[in-house]
């Protein structure tokens, strides 16, 4: 019997490309949910590159037409799919302070959730998919679908960055191995130092291009006017994530953001230090990009990073300082408000590090690394430094990694961690599992090529994409995309083999 594959296809279009090459290699039934802009809908509706047995456009299904949310139904959804909907709601950036255009009421939010749950249930009941093929979830809507699938027996094939740079992984959970016992049985014979020098996460992430980094001002103005005239219309305004976005507000917010970004960067660079003094007792805390799924979804109770910094500063031994570094890629979010940095600077035992500093340089001079749920913890272990985390991470099993269970225990946990030793053999074994569970893939380069080819360098995401251009792009990137398709098929076969054994 043919497998049924459900693809979640959004503006990143990676899963659309993967579906095309999977269909060339795999005899299965293909279905899709498109999370695309209205400007893209018609071309994707008429496309003949992939033979989907059925497809849905997410925004056609989600209407603001619920007068009174059905709380009984939503509670049943929580129980049936083992969900906490309020946690999911509070992870969504557009429902909170990151939305500059609209403030949602409780009724509106619950109505949106009800619409989405009913739509996803309809799709799952109709086609009963075997696999969901999706990128790393980053909004509440795609994470909701993934969780509903996972808790109804649908296998998740989520394409994610590995904790090792320039490698990718396909799995169910960002912070867990799919088959740890199997991975431990595999041989790992790579030179660790050589592998790590070619797998620098910081080096990879600093290459991210978005918001039109490489687009001229003249081109941006031209694109902006074309968007305002041809894309901004009544259909655009119907989406709940576009509520409150008038032409004047959009123009004002864009200009205002550019001005604020320059002011914030100047303040940050003037008030941050470029070097940690030698022989100083220090703890390192790297800030996460915000908004970001790592803290919003993986560590929702610690998403207030300013509060976390304050808690750590209170818990430190008297002879230690806390060094906080802004994430380099906050440049893509116009940096944080100056008030955020000023509050950090008011803490007497906390110092702000310059974003340009390389994490490894800081880690080597630190006695302990504390991260909410970041990759920096793994880098710390590789540099023989103990780690404290606030959420479960893929490297949690290391004996030098300590998980915060109760915040009031943090002072003693810091002392315990500072006195601990890193087990190098454990770390090498962990690197082996990360390597064997992943494959060579530069996700950042593919992202950059997509935004360059279709979205004016990321300055305007959501404009129309012609299928002629899509075909040209896929041919140009055939080797990469065929490789991704093969990795997905390999994962499907692994799941099938595991099921057959059971």
Give pLDDT tens digits for 154-169: 999 999 999 999 999 9
Higher pLDDT, 249 or 74: 74
Looking at the fold, whether 150 and 57 belong to one and the same domain comes out as yes
Looking at the fold, whether 413 and 469 belong to one and the same domain comes out as no
pLDDT for 501 equals 45
- Length reported for the chain: 502
299-333 pLDDT, tens per residue? 999 999 999 999 999 999 999 999 999 999 999 89
Among the ranges given (128-142, 194-208, 296-310, 375-389), the one the predictor scored with the smallest mean pLDDT: 194-208
Total Cβ atoms within 10 A of residue 83? 19
Looking at the fold, whether 414 and 273 belong to one and the same domain comes out as yes
Looking at the fold, whether 280 and 377 belong to one and the same domain comes out as yes
Residue 196: inside a domain, yes or no? no
Instruction: Give the residue among 268, 227, 222 at the shortest CA–CA distance from 245.
Output: 227
Residue 489: inside a domain, yes or no? yes
Looking at the fold, whether 26 and 136 belong to one and the same domain comes out as yes
175-214 pLDDT, tens per residue? 999 887 678 778 888 888 888 888 888 888 888 877 666 7
Tell me the percentage of the chain whose pLDDT exceeds 90.
Answer: 76
Instruction: Give the residue among 366, 370, 365 at the shortest CA–CA distance from 413.
Output: 370
Looking at the fold, whether 418 and 493 belong to one and the same domain comes out as no
Mutual angle of helices 14-25 and 467-476, in 10-degree steps: 70
Domain count, the chain: 2
pLDDT tier at 136 (50, 70, 90 boundaries)?
very high
Residue 344: inside a domain, yes or no? yes
Residue 181: inside a domain, yes or no? no
Is the Cβ–Cβ distance between 416 and 403 less than 8 Å? no
Looking at the fold, whether 53 and 120 belong to one and the same domain comes out as yes
Q: How far is CA 475 from the centre of its chain?
A: 27
Strand 4-10: give its sheet, edge to edge: 54-57, 29-35, 4-10, 131-135, 155-161, 167-171, 439-440
Looking at the fold, whether 399 and 486 belong to one and the same domain comes out as no
pLDDT for 211 equals 65
Angle at the Cα of 501 from the Cα atoms of 496 and 502, rounded to 5 degrees: 100
Looking at the fold, whether 472 and 396 belong to one and the same domain comes out as no
Cα distance between residue 140 and residue 88, in whole Å: 6
pLDDT for 215 equals 67
432-470 pLDDT, tens per residue? 999 999 999 999 999 999 998 998 866 777 778 999 999
3-state secondary structure of 10: strand
Last residue of some domain: 368, 396, 422?
422
Place of tokens 């000023």: 342
Average per-residue pLDDT for the chain = 92
Last residue of some domain: 368, 403, 422?
422
Instruction: Give the residue among 129, 155, 199 at the shortest CA–CA distance from 379.
Output: 199
Residue 223: inside a domain, yes or no? no
First and final CA of the chain: distance in angstroms? 18
User: Is the pLDDT assigned to residue 425 strictly greater than 90?
Assistant: yes
Residue 76's domain spans which residues?
A: 4-172+463-501
Q: What is the CATH number of the domain that holds 369?
A: 3.40.50.2000
Q: What is the CATH number of the domain that holds 13?
A: 3.40.50
Looking at the fold, whether 402 and 467 belong to one and the same domain comes out as no
Higher pLDDT, 206 or 268: 268
pLDDT for 185 equals 76
Instruction: Give the residue among 216, 228, 371 at the shortest CA–CA distance from 302.
Output: 371
469-493 pLDDT, tens per residue? 999 999 999 999 999 999 999 999 9
- Under 8 Å CB-to-CB from 97, ≥6 apart: which residues? none
pLDDT tier at 150 (50, 70, 90 boundaries)?
very high
Cα distance between residue 403 and residue 382, in whole Å: 18
Looking at the fold, whether 284 and 404 belong to one and the same domain comes out as yes
pLDDT for 65 equals 67
Cα distance between residue 20 and residue 44, in whole Å: 13
Cα distance between residue 120 and residue 139, in whole Å: 15
Higher pLDDT, 459 or 256: 256
pTM equals 0.94
Last residue of some domain: 407, 422, 437?
422
**DSSP secondary structure of 12-68:** T-HHHHHHHHHHHH---EEEEEEE--HHHHHHHHH--SS--SEEEEHHHH--S--SS
Local structure of residue 397 (DSSP, 8 states): T
Instruction: Give the residue among 443, 440, 455, 449 at the shortest CA–CA distance from 475.
Output: 449
Looking at the fold, whether 158 and 25 belong to one and the same domain comes out as yes
Residue 411: inside a domain, yes or no? yes
39-62 pLDDT, tens per residue? 899 999 999 999 999 999 999 999
Local structure of residue 411 (DSSP, 8 states): H
Angle at the Cα of 402 from the Cα atoms of 186 and 199, rounded to 5 degrees: 45
- Under 8 Å CB-to-CB from 248, ≥6 apart: which residues? none
Is the Cβ–Cβ distance between 367 and 320 less than 8 Å? yes
User: Is the pLDDT assigned to residue 14 strictly greater than 70?
Assistant: yes
pLDDT tier at 502 (50, 70, 90 boundaries)?
very low
Residue 215: inside a domain, yes or no? no
Phi, then psi, of 493 in degrees rounded to 5? -65, -35
Cis before 291 (ω within 30): yes
Give the 3-state DSSP-derived string for 324-344, with helices as H, strands as E and coil as C. EECCHHHHHHCCCCHHHHHHH
Residue 255: inside a domain, yes or no? no
């Amino acid at each position: 019997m043919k497998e049924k594959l459900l693809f979640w296809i959004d503006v990143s279009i990676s899963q659309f490309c993967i579906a095309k090459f999977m269909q060339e290699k795999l005899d299965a039934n293909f279905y899709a949910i498109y999370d695309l802009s209205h400007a893209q809908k018609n071309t994707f509706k008429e496309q003949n590159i992939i033979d989907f047995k059925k497809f849905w456009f997410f925004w056609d299904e989600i209407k603001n037409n619920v007068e009174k949310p059905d709380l009984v139904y939503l509670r049943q959804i929580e129980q049936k799919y083992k969900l906490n909907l309020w946690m999911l709601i509070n992870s969504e950036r557009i429902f909170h302070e990151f939305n500059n255009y609209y403030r949602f009421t409780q009724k509106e939010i619950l109505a949106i959730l009800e619409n989405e749950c009913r739509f996803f249930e309809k799709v799952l009941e109709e086609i009963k998919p075997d696999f969901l093929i999706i990128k790393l979830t980053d909004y509440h809507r795609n994470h909701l679908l993934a969780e509903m699938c996972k808790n109804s027996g649908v296998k998740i094939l989520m394409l994610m960055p590995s904790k090792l740079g320039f490698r990718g992984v396909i799995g169910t959970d960002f912070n867990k191995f799919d088959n740890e016992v199997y991975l431990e049985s595999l041989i790992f014979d790579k030179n660790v130092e050589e592998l790590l020098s070619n797998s620098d996460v910081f080096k990879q992430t600093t290459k991210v291009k978005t918001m039109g980094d490489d687009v001229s001002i003249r081109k941006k103005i031209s694109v902006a006017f074309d968007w305002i005239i041809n894309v901004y219309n009544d259909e655009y305004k119907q989406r709940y994530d576009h509520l409150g976005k008038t032409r004047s507000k959009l123009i004002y917010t864009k200009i205002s953001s550019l001005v604020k970004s320059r002011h914030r960067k100047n303040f940050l660079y003037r008030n941050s230090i470029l070097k940690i003094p030698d022989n100083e007792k220090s703890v390192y805390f790297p800030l996460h990009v915000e908004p970001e799924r790592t803290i919003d979804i993986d560590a929702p109770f610690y998403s207030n990073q300013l509060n976390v910094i304050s808690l750590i500063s209170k818990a430190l031994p008297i002879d230690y300082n806390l060094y906080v570094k802004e994430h380099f890629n906050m440049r893509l979010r116009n940096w944080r408000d100056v008030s955020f940095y000023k509050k950090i600077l008011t803490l007497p035992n906390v110092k702000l590090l310059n974003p340009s500093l390389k994490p490894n340089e800081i880690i080597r001079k630190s006695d302990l690394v504390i991260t909410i749920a970041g990759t920096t913890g793994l880098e710390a272990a590789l540099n023989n430094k103990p780690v404290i985390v606030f959420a479960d991470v893929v490297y949690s099993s290391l004996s030098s990694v300590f998980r915060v269970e109760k915040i009031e225990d943090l002072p003693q946990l810091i002392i315990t961690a500072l006195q601990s030793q890193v087990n190098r053999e454990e770390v090498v074994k962990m690197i082996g599992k990360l390597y064997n569970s992943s494959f060579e893939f530069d996700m950042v380069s593919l992202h950059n090529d997509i935004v360059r080819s279709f979205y004016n360098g990321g300055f305007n995401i959501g404009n129309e994409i012609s299928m002629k251009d899509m075909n040209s792009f896929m041919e140009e990137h055939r080797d990469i995309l065929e490789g991704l398709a093969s990795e997905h098929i390999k994962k499907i076969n692994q799941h099938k083999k595991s099921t057959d054994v059971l």
